[in-house]
Amino acid sequence: MQHAPFTALAAVYDAIMADVEYDAWADFVLTYARDAELKVKTALDLACGTGGFTRELLNADLQVTGLDGSADMLQEARRRLPGVEFVQGDLRNFQLDEKYDLLTCVFDSLNNLLSADDLSAAFGRMHAHLNPGGLLACDLNTRLGVRELWEGDAIEGVVTAADGAEVHYHWSHHFDPQAELGVVQAFCRVQPENGDMQEFVETHRERGFDPPEVQALLRQAGFSTFEIVEYPDYADPTPDTPRIWVFARKEKA
């Protein structure tokens, strides 16, 4: 019943996350790039999961590659977007032969890195894979955002998967103050149209990162030009901001 993160969940992830506003996030990122007078033709979508945000970049006529650490999530992404190149890799040490105009990493994915050293390593690999003048766009939950993830510390519902299966989910959250980590127990009960009911639990852990720490790690990775803002108005974050967006440019040669 207990599974590793982003394994069993992959088959029902898109049904549960059907309301995620990937399209609005893509517009937010591409508007920033356009206002910065950056011509974006190629993009690398990191921690792409099942390809929800990848698809929006593709719809913007970009040449997109997706990368994720989960083979199960990538299997769904390849089924969803058969014309896109997807690569399995770790954010902390991935090495591709290409460089890109735009790198993206959205939906709290970087919070799955549980130490500053891991996030620093990821920023370093991102910097290395950008073309000169290229843009990194990513979001992170702050420490407050991880500590107070959901009102009531639980979400639940019933959705229908693409194959017609009925999916009951109940995800509970608690904050571990000693480890300074948010812990989500993601329970799902899946009833196929024809077949036996299946149940599984995945445990996901996230660490929050506040703007001063993110700024220091960006500089450490080689970024000297960056902004940290709120969605959707690009405002400066406040102490009560639960999620920040980072826009960082690689220096031109």
Average pLDDT, rounded, for the chain:
97
208-217 residues labelled b (16+ CB within 10 A) or e (exposed) = bbbbebbeeb
Query: Where do you find CATH 2.20.25.110 in the chain?
Result: 146-206
Question: What percent of the chain is predicted at pLDDT more than 70?
Answer: 100
Top-tier CATH class for 146-206: mainly beta
* CA–CA separation, 149 and 100 (whole Å): 32
pLDDT at 132: 97
pLDDT at 194: 87
* CA–CA separation, 220 and 82 (whole Å): 37
Tell me the average pLDDT across 86-100: 98
At residue 201, what are phi and psi to the nearest 5 degrees?
Answer: -130, 135
**What global pTM score does this model have?**
0.97
**Residue 47 — pLDDT band, cuts 50, 70, 90?**
very high
Above 80 in pLDDT, residue 253?
no
Measured in whole angstroms, the distance separating CA 162 from the mean position of its chain's CA atoms is: 22
Top-tier CATH class for 13-143+209-249: alpha beta
Tell me the average pLDDT across 149-171: 95
Query: Residue 120: which residues within 8 A CB-CB, separation 6 or more?
Result: 217, 220, 221
Query: Where do you find CATH 3.40.50.150 in the chain?
Result: 13-143+209-249
pLDDT at 139: 98
* N residues, the chain: 253
pLDDT at 79: 97
Above 90 in pLDDT, residue 82?
yes
pLDDT at 188: 98
* Burial of residue 61, with CB atoms counted within 10 A of its CB: 0-12 exposed, 13-18 middle, 19 or more buried: exposed
Query: Residue 113: which residues within 8 A CB-CB, separation 6 or more?
Result: 91, 92, 119, 122, 207
pLDDT at 50: 98
Nearest of 107, 130, 110 to residue 44 by alpha carbon: 130
Token pair for residue 50?
Answer: 């099942």
- Tens-digit pLDDT profile for residues 197-225: 999 999 999 999 999 999 999 999 999 99
For strands 2-3 and 85-88, give the pairing. unpaired
